[in-house]
Structure 1
Amino acid sequence: MSDFEVHGPHDHAVEHATEHAAHSSDSMASRVAVMTAVLATVGAMVSYQSGNAENLALYYKNEAAIRKTDAANQWAYYQAKGEKQNLADLGAQLSGNDPKALEHFSSEAARYKSEKEAIRKQAESLEAQVKEADEKSETLLHRHHRWAQSMMVVQISIALAAITLLVRKSWLQVCTFGAAATGIVLGALAMLGI
């Protein structure tokens, strides 16, 4: 979020027309001015939701990357235990007639085998967490796109309102209402996750 606001070229026209409407009995200008204020409020809420959804999507994507690294580390650890188990099995086979060496290598191979199971379960659990975090990220990114679409259409409707005030055409006011309704519907879809 930035600490300053950049005003578009239509903002001055809307302010001028709003001031003019306040000092006259022009009902069209008054309606459009009120609608513009409402749309600006809706736009601020939509903008916040869009940024929030984007930030959360990035958070979950980062969590997925961290868990993926953890899972890869667990699988490497699993593989190392497997190699140690194989070496212990080889030691048992090569121990010949030495019962002490055979017992040592056999117990080491059994220990590595049992340790591998816990490591495998941990790695699979981490992979499930990666999948879950990726899915959350994708869902939130989709919502962010819907919120951004809503914001774009709300901004277009505000610009149309400014043009309506300048040219005083009632058909343009209908277009403004249509764009505003479209922006609000897109915001509702974003809220519902559709």
Structure 2
Amino acid sequence: MSPYLLYAIDAVAVAVLTFALYFPRHRRRDLVVAFLGMNIGVLAVASVLAQSSVGAGLGLGLFGVLSIIRLRSNELSQHEVAYYFASLALGLLGGLGASVGWLSVAGMALILLVMALADSPRLFAAHRTTRVVVDRAISDHGALVAHLEHLLGGLVHSASVERLDLANDTTVVEVRYRTDVAPAHLPPDPVDVPRHADLAVTR
């Protein structure tokens, strides 16, 4: 397969990944630049390495180091990490895949299909992860879970306490819960506090 045709296919694939899958679902503009820049940069360097005696192994090792530095420089959510490496993989397939032809194109198509399905808003739509600040220090785990179920109106799967502040009488907890399933027999709220909390960083 012509390398130039493969470059064009990579450009179409990264455009689909960025503008058809990621941005409509997550609306983070700065990562659009990161995904496009990473893909084109990997494509360019991988294309040069494919024609040189340096070898693709060294190129892959260098990009592994660069990707670790990039991921440490700014906090990314897990789905953003997946898109980041999908963009990188598309660039590698486009730059190094001329010798295998359509197998490289099939790999690009598989990446796009997996990302489209795995990040679908309909997949596990009722499952949420939320950081909750409760205005009472609650040390009893059972009472905390019951209070969170009253507060969130769903079934709590996991409640991990991040900070128990006895001085300021607050509890910071990360909660994983389902909104489409209510507890079967919800008892009265065991915590005698106003039913409000600050909800933030829902993902």
TM-score, normalised on structure 2?
0.26
Larger fraction in strand: 2
Higher relative contact order (CA 8 A, sep 6+): 1
